[in-house]
């Protein structure tokens, strides 16, 4: 059995619902995690997803910013998780029912962290660090029980690899690529040897981006991007990722210039062969 999962910081699901549905129709993922939906749970536009075949929907919304939602063709059960110290709507955890190959799908929108990479003087950065620490504690305890095929997706707001940013040396002091954040994310990854799917088959010096600022008039021309979005899998699912090779993973760069008003992030997909 092969399944396809996807993640996308859509930066307002109601504003870009046509783009999301277009993506679902073209790529047909089985499960999609959306971040920064920017709507309350009861205002989430469920019907277009249901019409597109995604009848299973779990939403964590709030007024204004933030918010996550997971939509699926496969049945899901909501998992009781709590990661955000400020109780923002920044994650949705579900168990996806896939016959005898059920898996957990954890959809995250990690805080951006403000402008100064110092938790002592910057509360926003402290919020980011505390959020990731809660993730580390949860998954450390979770994996002490066992590996139930976990997939972590979302906008992690950290570009960990040297070539996940347009300029490594230029961005070492810029929040999202500081050594402190990269080290903390690595510690989280090591809680259970998660595999970073984007980097599994990528060449060491290959540039990988999933976000381009709105500030540039022509983001693809300057190509000053960062890979802030991630798909990770637990060791039990690594063979399912390896089976498809590099072609099974895709960062959908053309979506960055979809008309009329694209998100500053693009979606990312991963095919897993659960029969392996």
Residue 250: CATH number of its domain: 3.60.10.10
Q: How far is CA 147 from CA 103, 143, 168, 275, in A?
A: 10, 6, 34, 17
Are 253 and 247 in contact by the 8 Å Cβ rule? The answer is no
What average pLDDT values come out for the chain (276 residues) when binned by 10 residues?
97 98 98 98 98 98 93 98 96 95 97 96 97 97 91 98 97 97 97 96 96 86 95 97 97 95 97 94
pTM for the full predicted model:
0.97
Number of domains in the chain: 1
pLDDT at position 235: 97
Residue span of the structural domain in which 168 resides: 2-273
């Amino acid at each position: 059995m092969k399944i396809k999962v996807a993640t996308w910081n859509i930066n307002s699901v109601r504003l870009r619902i046509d783009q999301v549905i277009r993506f679902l129709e073209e790529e047909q993922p089985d499960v999609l995690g959306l971040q920064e939906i920017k709507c309350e749970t009861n205002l989430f536009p469920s019907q277009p997803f249901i019409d597109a075949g995604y009848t299973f929907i779990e939403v964590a919304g709030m007024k204004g910013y933030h918010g996550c939602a997971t939509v699926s063709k496969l049945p899901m059960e909501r998992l009781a998780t709590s990661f955000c110290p400020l109780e923002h709507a920044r994650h949705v955890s579900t168990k996806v029912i896939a016959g005898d190959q059920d898996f957990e799908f954890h959809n995250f929108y990690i805080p951006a962290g403000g402008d100064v990479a110092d938790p002592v003087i910057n509360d926003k950065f402290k919020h980011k660090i505390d959020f990731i620490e809660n993730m580390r504690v949860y998954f450390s305890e979770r994996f002490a029980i066992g590996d139930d095929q976990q997939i972590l997706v979302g906008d992690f707001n950290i570009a960990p690899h040297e070539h996940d940013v347009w300029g490594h040396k230029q961005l070492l002091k810029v929040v999202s690529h500081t050594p402190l954040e990269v080290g903390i994310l690595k510690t989280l990854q090591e809680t259970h040897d998660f595999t970073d799917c984007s980097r599994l088959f990528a060449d060491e010096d290959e540039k990988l981006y999933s976000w381009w600022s709105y500030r540039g008039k022509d983001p693809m021309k300057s190509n000053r991007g960062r890979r802030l979005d991630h798909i990770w899998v637990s060791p039990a699912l690594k063979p399912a990722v390896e089976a498809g090779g590099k072609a099974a993973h895709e960062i959908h760069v053309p979506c960055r210039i979809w008309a009329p008003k694209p998100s500053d992030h693009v979606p990312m997909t991963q095919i897993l062969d659960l029969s392996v």
